[in-house]
Structure 1
Amino acid sequence: MISISETSTQRLRALAAATAAALLLAGCGTAEDDAPTDTDVSASPSAISLPVTPVTIELVDPGAEPRSSLTYEPAGEQSVVLTTSSTVSQQIDDQAAQDFSTPEITLPLTAQAPESDAGGEIRLRIGTPTSADQRLTEALAVAEGSEAGLTVTDTGAVTALSISPNADAEDAARAAIEQALNQAVYRSISFPSEDVGVGAVWTTEQQVVSGLTLNQTTTATLRERDGDRLTIDLRIDQTPESATLELPDDAGQLAIDTYTMSGSGTLEFDLGRSLPVSGEVTVAGEQQYSDPEGTTVLRQDISDTLRWSTP
């Protein structure tokens, strides 16, 4: 049984932060999740490559005639601004609610599309990051010039994220950048292989693993198309794969009593660009967890927003 002792409270608070990150699709994951994979030490001693779970795409409605393929062929360089914000309020039993929100951060990005022989990796260079939190802005200043990479397929599906922060970047800045880029990855759009027209609807299925395994379904609707320019409406729904959540450090389990997490938004794409041109997506929900004896209850209200804009 999980008591309401200070130790348990601290563990639950740590869990709250980790769980919130997982639900937001923005967390750094557990220590095991964060273990460097295929680390490129020649680029940076702290460079890591994080695999991204596979995406399954299914066309639901091909839309109106005329129909044609959505051929994702990014080329050249693109300047874009990524802004993310997350609000997390959590309460244990009748204690005062606590705020685990992440300050809004803005990342100016320069994306370089892959060359024909580059293995499908989009290279990202981070400009001067800023935050609504002045202390974080100061920490982020040292991260200017950090690099990242997105490995993509010809459908636009991201299969890996690599991050190479500047060696002098503080942990807070590294975590904020990783969190923002993870949000971008799991709010991205993959395109169907079939020909489609305006009104086309397709779904993508993907698991998100970061302390809690979530099954995510993204429903995309092609609202407008002007040549390579696309306006796509999104609906995102998440459900936990299991009815229980493992506490960190072998501290036991929590039952997932209730879970709602969904959202929507609109993104604009140019099939000749690496990243979305503009748009916004917000996902929000409520969760409640309890210990096996039902003596301790953890409640969370979560919302996160991602915005793309062209400078």
Structure 2
Amino acid sequence: MMALALSAFGTGCSDGSETTVEGDGADPLVGIGREVTVPISAVTTTVLEYGAEPRAALRPEVAPGVTQQVTLRTDHHIEQQINAQAVRDFSPPAITIPLTAQAGDDDIELTLGTVTSPDPALAKALLPADGSRAGFDISELGAITALRLAPKPATSDAARAALEQAFYQAVYQSITFPDEPVGVGAVWTVRQQVSGSVPLDQVTTATLTHREGSLLTIRLNVVQTPKTTVWQLPNQAGQLEIVDYLMHGAGDITVDLGLPLPVSGSVEVGGNQTYRDPNSAVTLRQTLRTQVQWGA
């Protein structure tokens, strides 16, 4: 089951000049006009509280062939400041992706509808992506183990990048169910490494706040911490020291164990990051906020 979206972004500079580099929480996909499959890092779940009786194992129970209409909306905000210069906004436009999901034996096939954006240029660039396909490989416990993307050949690089970013934001905040039976009030953690230019340890704490049959409401609390003290910039542009890195967020999602994707929900993750160039006096500060919404 997918939950929310979350990504890592960075900014680098050298000798006082400014270069902005954005990432999507994972290595970019390659290949135009063909499907590309990318494995997703494994997750580990740990039950902290088992919740009230009655308790039962939480498992996706999606019959092959079941379809679902749902909309994914992602909105990422990024501001950065270099030393005492003015704060600049590098936020990419939000996008809204109507999806038709069809369940397979152990995967979910997605067909994109007309993707929209409040940015006129990006909205126009996204039009040829109508009918593009994507997919997820799913484990028994609901973890996404692989992402597949196959944009239409006419999809531009800008539109393709926006779609990749949106799906990575969703995938890397996917929720995995615990292996043990649990009841309402149960709390478990999902640990996963988020790959990218700055590898991150991500811990999502999930609380089952309500259950009515197969319909579950889950509260999410997300914390990310870097696995390294430096960021190796792309294209051999050097490295930046990570002075501080705080990313945290929360939200609620509603999932139906009989449907492929979340029914509704919204989670927002944000924080501040500070990087320093060890060869100069340049310091970069970022304020980030990412929101992912699922709905009709």
Q: Distance in 2 between matches of 1:300 and 1:53?
A: 26
Q: Which moved more, 1:287-296 or 1:253-262?
A: 287-296
CA contact (8 A) 1:34 1:50 kept: no
| CA shift for structure 1 position 45 | 3.3
Aligned pair partner of 2:115 in 129, 132, 135: 129
CA contact (8 A) 2:216 2:256 kept: yes
Aligned pair partner of 1:212 in 194, 198, 208: 198
| CA shift for structure 1 position 294 | 5.3
Matched, 1:49 2:58: no
Count of residues in correspondence between the two structures: 282
Q: Residue 139 of structure 2 aligns with which residue? A: 153
| CA shift for structure 1 position 97 | 2.0
Q: Residue 87 of structure 1 aligns with which residue? A: 77
Q: Residue 52 of structure 2 aligns with which residue? A: 64
Q: Residue 3 of structure 2 aligns with which residue? A: none
CA contact (8 A) 1:83 1:306 kept: yes
Identity %: 46
Higher share in strand: 2
Q: Distance in 1 between matches of 2:198 and 2:181?
A: 36
| CA shift for structure 1 position 250 | 1.6
Q: Distance in 1 between matches of 2:244 and 2:109?
A: 40
1:257 partner amino acid: V
Where 1:130 maps in the other structure, the secondary structure is coil
> Is the alpha carbon distance of 1:96 and 1:46 closer, same or farther for their aligned partners in structure 2, counting shifts above 3 Å?
farther
| CA shift for structure 1 position 247 | 1.5
Cα deviation, 1:60-87, whole Å, max 9, x if unaligned, reads 1110111111121223000000000000
Q: Distance in 1 between matches of 2:90 and 2:173?
A: 21
Aligned pair partner of 1:222 in 208, 212, 221: 208
CA contact (8 A) 1:112 1:124 kept: yes
Structure 2 residue runs of 5 or longer lacking an equivalent are: 1-12
Aligned pair partner of 1:106 in 84, 96, 121: 96
Q: Distance in 2 between matches of 1:126 and 1:229?
A: 25
> Is the alpha carbon distance of 1:226 and 1:35 closer, same or farther for their aligned partners in structure 2, counting shifts above 3 Å?
closer
Cα deviation, 1:177-213, whole Å, max 9, x if unaligned, reads 1111111112221101111100000000000011110
1:169 partner amino acid: T
2:274 partner amino acid: Q
Aligned pair partner of 1:74 in 62, 68, 72: 62
1:104 partner amino acid: A
Q: Could you say what the CA RMSD is over the residues aligned between the two structures, in angstroms? A: 1.5
Question: Larger RCO: Structure 1 or Structure 2 (Cα < 8 Å, ≥ 6 residues apart)?
Answer: 2
Q: Distance in 1 between matches of 2:292 and 2:43?
A: 20
1:300 partner amino acid: Q
Moved over 4 A (4+): none
Q: Distance in 2 between matches of 1:79 and 1:98?
A: 37
Higher share in helix: 1
CA contact (8 A) 1:2 1:295 kept: no
TM-score (structure 1 length as normaliser): 0.87
Where 1:103 maps in the other structure, the secondary structure is coil
Q: Distance in 1 between matches of 2:282 and 2:77?
A: 23
Q: Residue 34 of structure 1 aligns with which residue? A: 28
Q: Distance in 2 between matches of 1:195 and 1:100?
A: 45
2:88 partner amino acid: Q
Q: Which moved more, 1:285-294 or 1:85-94?
A: 285-294
